[in-house]
Structure 1
Amino acid sequence: MHVIIPVGGLGTRLRPHTWSKPKPLVTVAGKPILGHVLDHLLSLPLETVVFITGFLGEQIEEYVREHYDLNVRFVEQPEPLGQSHAILQAKGLVEGPTLIVFPDLIFEADLAALAECNADGAIFVKEVEDPRRFGVVVFEDGRITRLVEKPQTPVSRLAVVGIYYLREIQDLFQAIEEQIARDLKKGNEFYLADALQLMIDAGRRFVWLPVSVWEDCGTVEALLATNRYLLSRQQQSVTTNVQANAVIIPPVVIDPTATVEHSVIGPYVSIGPKANVSHAIITDSIIDEGARITMATLTRSIVGRWADVQGDFMQVNVGDSSQIRFERTDGTARNNK
């Protein structure tokens, strides 16, 4: 099985964090989003994994090569012309059965079922209450007939989650080339749904497969919700660097290299490598690598790498290397009193 993972998006809805790192490397539950996705894919007999990079793509390559022993290729998308254009950059690098995964989600699915799939392709879906915010599949007798983007009238409740299987990836490359030649795009982007619809209209048989879990990571609110979900499913992890004068309320994940003292942590908190938390109360938050939290009370917050937060009760969304200090009206720092 080959895998194509487009990782070149700008991640504008997760700024300021995506100014200094690509969206797939934003941390949730103690690990980058991309790490959670790759861990799930390891259950497959992976032959080649192709990453389509863009903004800050060298960080993606560094992370993957450091943490995974995979046969990988990295190809840069020269222009941000959409999903189909990104996937076409993998032409010549893969052939045969291929899985396409957009890494801005956490999912659980029976990927082993793909070995029994005798259709030309499969689209992974999740049933949702309100399909108006999603692309959906319309099917007859188990076969997909249409892909509909954000239907305002109910045509299906099976939302497309961003995982696609092609029995022969060359067929998709040909459809994308036709899509581009016919200039089938929205705005300035070529969307994968239009290329897949060309294949369906040409008689290719597509089926849908379910995911049991679909957690979004595309916004700050969604990322915190996914953090809560993942932490609720794993054991509390506390290290010797958590001092006796700290109170831990599970579920939390604290990296072994982090230091926590004189603080109350949890529930639903992940603290990254080399972070330092002192005299703080933190709930429902993500504290990234090297961040320093001192005399602050944080909730529903994301603190980026090497950021410094000092002060009072806050809800913050702080990017990498930022500094926040709460001061009195007379200009003296409250945390220094």
Structure 2
Amino acid sequence: MKIIVPMAGIGSRLRPHTLTTPKPLTVIAGKPIVQRLVEDITSVVNQPIDEIAFIIGPTTKGFPENTKEELLKIADALNAKGSVYVQEEALGTAHAIYCAKDSLSGPCVVAFADTLFKADFTLDANADGAIWVKQVEDPSAFGVVKLKDGVISDFVEKPKDFVSDLAIIGIYYFKDGDKVREEIKYLLDNNLKENGEYQLTNVLESLKQQGAQFIPGKVDAWMDCGKKDPTVDTNKQVLGFEHASGNNLVSADVVLQNSEIIQPCFVGKNVVLKNTKIGPFVSIGENSVVENSTITNSLIQTNVVISNANLDNAMIGNHAKYNGKYTSVSIGDYTELI
């Protein structure tokens, strides 16, 4: 089994946090989104993972020079071969996957690093593939599927008129990755675009017309990291899952001076809390100092200095400094409000 992870998008809707850190590398409860994604998939597919292939953007689009090295470490920690490809230009979901064509073969899971999830990954050996879907209120912003007798009968990309409210969440299983690769190549060779891009839904529709049967996958939780508020909420949900599993995410060397941590929380290494109450649902990255503050339901990255704050539903980037009275703030890396 292989895992293909397209993650070339920088996440413009999450700015200012993605001005210096691409969205898939944004840290949630102590781990980058993409690391949590592949760890979750590896833990539920019940098959050995041979290779994890990541498709990133170029350094000119904000991807740090060490991105490849960090991703290879993630794959190695999961005992899988790591491969990293670069999508130089954003030309659609199918094009992104095709950038990893040398790894796209055999049974594989394709997972876009835009969201985190909790899902049933029981794979039907009789199906050609599975597409995980979630019922949504506004399907016009998504690719959607229609069902007939438990099998996917149609794929529609961002429908203007209502056809279905079952949105594709960006996680797929293909029994035969070679067929997917060949079908994407056909799209590219014949310049078959939709809305100016090469869409994976067109590939799926073509495979279906050739006789492939795809079934829907069940999603228990779909956690969005597209904007600030949903990302803070995703941090909350992940902390809740970790706490329910009995995992302690508070570093042993945290310094508590007249302070309190209300679980669930993530607190990284070398964090100092003075006259402060944090939690529930707070993540604070390593080497941070928080003084005279109360913080709930917030996502705070590394090397941050916070004082005299009363924060709720806040997101604060790396190396930021904050001293103030506002509660629901969104502060990017290296920003100072003092």
User: TM over 0.5: same fold?
Assistant: yes
Which residue in the other structure is 1:28 paired with?
28
Does the aligned pair in 1 maintain the 2:75–2:82 contact within 8 Å? no
**1:277 maps to amino acid:** V
Instruction: Encode CA deviations 1:181-237: one digit per residue, 9 max, x unaligned.
Output: 343323432121112112112222222121222111111111011111112223364
Residues of 2 paired with 1:273 and 1:290: CA distance? 6
What aligned pairs does 1:34-113 form with structure 2 within 5 A after superposition? 34-43=34-43, 44-54=47-57, 55=61, 56=63, 58-69=65-76, 70-111=80-121, 113=122
Q: Where in structure 2 are the equivalents of 1:126-275 lying within 5 Å?
A: 126-151=134-159, 153-235=161-243, 237-238=249-250, 239-275=252-288
CA displacement 1:28-47 (0-9 Å, x = unmatched) = 22221112112112224111
Partners of 2:140 and 2:9 in 1: CA distance:
23
Residues of 2 paired with 1:67 and 1:166: CA distance?
Answer: 23
In 1, Cα distance between the equivalents of 2:2 and 2:238? 27
- Aligned partner of 2:8 in structure 1 is 8
Contact 1:22/1:59, CA 8 A, preserved across alignment: no
Structure 2: stretches of 5+ with no match in the other structure: none
Comparing 58-67 and 202-211, the one that deviates more: 58-67
Return the offset for 1:124.
Answer: 1.1
The answer to whether the 8 A contact 1:303-1:318 is kept is yes
In the alignment, the residues of structure 2 paired with residue 15 and residue 144 of structure 1 have an alpha-carbon distance, to the nearest angstrom, of 36
The range that moved more, 172-181 or 300-309, is 172-181
Distance 2:18 2:104 in 1: 29
Query: Does 2:132 correspond to 1:124?
Result: yes
Shift of 1:51: 0.7
Q: Give the alignment of 1:302-313 within 5 angstroms.
A: 302-313=315-326
Tell me the distance in 2 between the aligned counterparts of 1:36 and 1:183. 35
- Structure 2 length-normalised TM: 0.89
- What TM-score results when the alignment is normalised by the length of structure 1? 0.89
The aligned amino acid for 1:3 is I
SS in 1 for 2:256: coil
CA contact (8 A) 2:52 2:75 kept: no
Question: May I ask how many residue pairs the two structures share in their alignment?
Answer: 323
Cα 1:62–1:260 shift into 2, 3 Å? farther
Equivalents in 2 of 1:151, 1:188: separation in Å?
16
* Range with greater deviation from structure 2 (6-15 or 205-214): 205-214
Structure 1: segments with no counterpart, 5+ residues: 326-337
Q: Is the 8 A contact 2:75 2:81 kept in 1?
A: no
CA contact (8 A) 2:313 2:327 kept: no
CA contact (8 A) 2:5 2:111 kept: yes
User: Alignment RMSD, CA only?
Assistant: 2.0
- Note the alpha carbon deviations across 1:291-322, whole angstroms, 9 max, x for none: 11122222211111111112223432111111
Among 299, 313, 336, the residue aligned to 1:286 = 299
CA distance in 1, matches of 2:12, 2:159: 24
Query: How far off is 1:253 after superposition?
Result: 1.4
Give 1:132 shift. Answer: 4.1
Assess if the C-alpha contact under 8 Å between 1:20 and 1:320 holds in 2: yes
Equivalent residue of 2:218, what SS?
strand
Partners of 2:53 and 2:75 in 1: CA distance? 13
Task: Tell me how far apart the structure 1 counterparts of residues 64 and 103 of structure 2 sit (CA, whole Å).
Answer: 18
Report the Cα offset of residue 86 of structure 1. 1.2
Identity within the alignment, %: 37
Partner deviation per Cα, 1:85-130 (whole Å, 9 max, x = no partner):
111111123311111000111112233x22x432222111123455
- Inter-partner Cα distance in structure 2 for 1:72 and 1:65: 5
Deviation at 1:249, TM superposition (A): 2.5
Greater Cα shift, 33-42 or 60-69: 60-69
Distance between the aligned counterparts of 2:311 and 2:2, measured in 1? 43
Deviation of 1:140 (Å):
1.4
**Aligned equivalents of 1:22 and 1:292: distance in 2?**
22
Relative to structure 1, the CA distance from residue 93 to residue 237 in structure 2 (aligned partners, 3 Å threshold; closer, same or farther) is closer
